[in-house]
Structure 1
């Protein structure tokens, strides 16, 4: 007998300054943004009744303090935190079922940020030569491998730390130039009927400048309304979508069969990869054909 699935739908609205500690990166971002004075979360999960019960009985010691505080606020029903709604799929209206049915959703496109919308590689060479003018460097046409640091260390074992010093420096990510045609293509894509567009980017482990500057870059080049389209994830395999446009040749993670199809955005470091679907640029309109092709499949 097929198990009945329970849908957990939680909508939480709260003032981040009352919950998040000052050192929290989200607190830092929201404090700097004039467009975000509150946070709103919508959490949706399908699960068996057993998993559902285990979530209700979760040990509070395993939850971080901000999450524990959120949970208390949800249960207390304060005016700026709504109570969770627990529904079962058999009680949903037809319209609601369609809304939560993945097969009924728009085409979901995930766009990487660095080297897809923003020119990381070209900007890196410029900054490296400014900072270390007497050191050897790798020309763009000679780039091989996804990680710049690895190739520079092969060139000279002492260059690794210098490479890292360039891209973790304050202002590096904020000052990345746009890849030609990327911004206009992203805006047109987002305005296309039946298409949802999100920016899916992986931060550096040294996130102090990288993470907030990614948000600032998007706000600067695409506008504040795009801040709601940002997905930050070290593991992109767990993100739902139909298409992921990314310059990284291999994207691995905890999910062995991601929902999205990986389309390689051509960069100097991945030109040698063969037998994979590609998008070479944003200017010749090929991206429109790719979207139309995928819209027919869903």
Structure 2
């Protein structure tokens, strides 16, 4: 329980935190553009996929990410499924808090379908789709984006999910993978790690 007596509300981003967006993107990009750049050519210090390659490839990147159904096909990151379900078992209120790619016509519904398919039936009802995550209340937001900003001062503390592009993130809280989620998150919620 947090200070209000309710279970802690943990918000977890999807792409790059639970779902392996990078691997799915590069598999499809390299299939479509066999003579184009490869994953090794990407500037992984940049957050947005369409800025990781030269500008001449921006439209090709968008062609992949805006394909209907793309976001439903992502594989989970190692340990994500187990961690998400274990947090629920701890009695925490866990929600997937993900931003839609507005140029992909099925992105939002794909993400809901992904949650049910990968995490288990019922997880789709735990998905919050918000372009501005500062509008969503919570105790913690686990997100790979270096800075999560928006119109409001967030109620949550940003826990950065480690990635090459967020090494300079200003948040002092970092999760380097799902294996250590208890040790990182429980102290932030005022609990001792089990």
Return the TM-score normalized by structure 2.
0.90
Larger mean CA deviation between 269-278 and 179-188 belongs to 269-278
Q: CA RMSD in A?
A: 2.0
TM-superposed CA distance for 1:276, in Å, is: 2.9
What CA deviation, in whole Å up to 9, does each residue of 1:67-119 have, x standing for no partner? xxxxxxxxxxxxxxxxxxxxxxxxxxxxxxxxxx9722211100000010000
Unaligned runs of 5+ in 2: none
Any residues of structure 2 matched to 1:166-185 within 5 Å, and which? 166-185=64-83
Any residues of structure 2 matched to 1:199-214 within 5 Å, and which? 199-214=96-111
Residue equivalent to 1:288: 182
Tell me the distance in 1 between the aligned counterparts of 2:3 and 2:52. Answer: 41
Tell me the distance in 2 between the aligned counterparts of 1:105 and 1:159. Answer: 48
Residue equivalent to 1:235: 132
Q: Is the 8 A contact 1:140 1:268 kept in 2?
A: no
Match for residue 45 of structure 2 among 113, 137, 144: 144
Q: Is the 8 A contact 1:122 1:140 kept in 2?
A: no
Any residues of structure 2 matched to 1:42-191 within 5 Å, and which? 103-139=4-40, 142-152=43-53, 155=54, 157-191=55-89
TM-superposed CA distance for 1:270, in Å, is: 1.9
Tell me the distance in 1 between the aligned counterparts of 2:171 and 2:94. Answer: 26
Q: Is the 8 A contact 1:109 1:242 kept in 2?
A: yes
Q: Which has the higher contact order (CA 8 A, sep 6+)?
A: 2
TM-superposed CA distance for 1:274, in Å, is: 6.4
Unaligned runs of 5+ in 1: 1-100
1:198 equivalenced with 2:95 (yes/no)? yes
Residue equivalent to 1:269: 165
Tell me the distance in 2 between the aligned counterparts of 1:129 and 1:142. Answer: 16
State the SS of the aligned residue for 2:106.
helix
Return the TM-score normalized by structure 1.
0.60
Match for residue 244 of structure 1 among 141, 156, 163: 141
Pick the structure with greater CA Rg. Answer: 1
Q: Is the 8 A contact 2:139 2:189 kept in 1?
A: no
State the SS of the aligned residue for 1:146.
coil
State the SS of the aligned residue for 2:61.
helix
- Across the two proteins, how many residue pairs are aligned to each other? 190
